[in-house]
Amino acid sequence: MSENWYSERNGKTEVFRMDEEDISSPFYIPMKCLEITDSNKQYINVDVIIEERFDLFVNNVHITTFFASPMELEELALGFLVCEGFIEPDTKVDSIRIEDKSIYCDIEINTPELEELTHLERCGTTTYCKDVVRHNNSDTKFTTDAIIRAVGQLKEVGRIWHRTGGAHTSMVCDTAGEVLFFCEDVGRACSVDKVVGKALMNGTDLSQCMLVTTGRLASTMVSKAVNAGIPLVASKGATVHEAVELAEKAGITLVAFVRGRNLYVYAGEERIH
């Protein structure tokens, strides 16, 4: 089977990089399926993306369960805790370790936050929301060319998407639209958490960056950018009413339907010049 089976069948072979051929990965597994076309039936081998279950513990308190791709789990944990508002981007994390299908984080955390975590453990919920929406005061500005350039690279960096068609890609880009970090995952939310965690682990100032991601910009996705302190989030996909309201309230720029040379700015247009 060709290494870029999915790309070939979707007319996208031109963006599959040759240096990525023959790379094995725990992201996917080869499987046989029956292909049915108008005039033919045949068995073919395809790469199918993997989704595994992981439990996250903070200071030995169970916080949530992920269904995610089994890579970059430390980044996933840190990014999730920041993006969901459990901790600040500059919170000191003593350690993150992986044991089998569990992720353990040791964090210096204050008493009210620890009490909240204990409450979550008692009530069994995995959702954490702050009553006060963080307001982004970053004066970083972006050009339309930079946003278009950034979104245009989603397919280029999406190696696992090219092989399986089942991955989401998220990127942290600079003001010029160049990719600083990117991550792929079977889940779009996990891809955002991973790339934010990766950027923070590398000491990146997220107030000077944009978040670019595949898929629809729901309010849950926008809230991740808000909590991480990212001033602009963009996608080639659509957004929803609640996400626009949240972006306006938080003072971040929300850009959707970035396709070709066109884009829609739903909130924070003053940050684009």
Same domain, 34 and 56: no
pLDDT at 129: 47
pLDDT at 155: 87
Identify the residue whose tokens are 């409450």.
119
Q: Residue 254's domain is classified under what CATH number?
A: 3.40.140.10
Burial class (CB in 10 A: 0-12, 13-18, 19+), 156: middle
- Does 37 map to a domain? yes
Classified as helix, coil or strand, 141 is coil
Q: Residue 71's domain is classified under what CATH number?
A: 3.10.20.10
- Does 57 map to a domain? yes
Mention every residue, 6+ apart, whose C-beta is less than 8 A from residue 200: 78, 79, 82, 89, 206
| HSE value, Cβ hemisphere, 13 Å, CA-based, for 123 | 10
pLDDT at 77: 98
Neighbours of 121 (CB within 10 A): 15
Token duo for residue 264? 């829609």
Same domain, 190 and 265: yes
Same domain, 118 and 211: no
pLDDT at 213: 96
pLDDT at 3: 46
Same domain, 64 and 152: no
Same domain, 43 and 67: no
Same domain, 177 and 104: no
Q: What are the φ and ψ backbone dihedral angles of 256, each rounded to 5 degrees?
A: -135, 175
Same domain, 39 and 56: no
Residues 62, 208: contact at Cβ < 8 Å?
no
Same domain, 10 and 111: no
Same domain, 182 and 256: yes
pLDDT at 119: 53
**Packing angle of the helix pair 219-228, 188-201 (nearest 10 deg):** 10
| Radius of gyration (C-alpha) of the chain in whole angstroms | 19
Same domain, 40 and 79: no
Domain count of the chain? 3
- Does 131 map to a domain? no
pLDDT at 2: 42
pLDDT at 123: 46
Residues in the chain, pLDDT under 50: 1-7, 10-23, 111, 121-129
Same domain, 95 and 194: no
- Does 130 map to a domain? no
Which range of residues forms the domain containing residue 119?
52-123
- Does 36 map to a domain? yes
- Does 183 map to a domain? yes
- Does 132 map to a domain? no
CA dist 183 and 136 (Å) reads 24
pLDDT at 134: 87
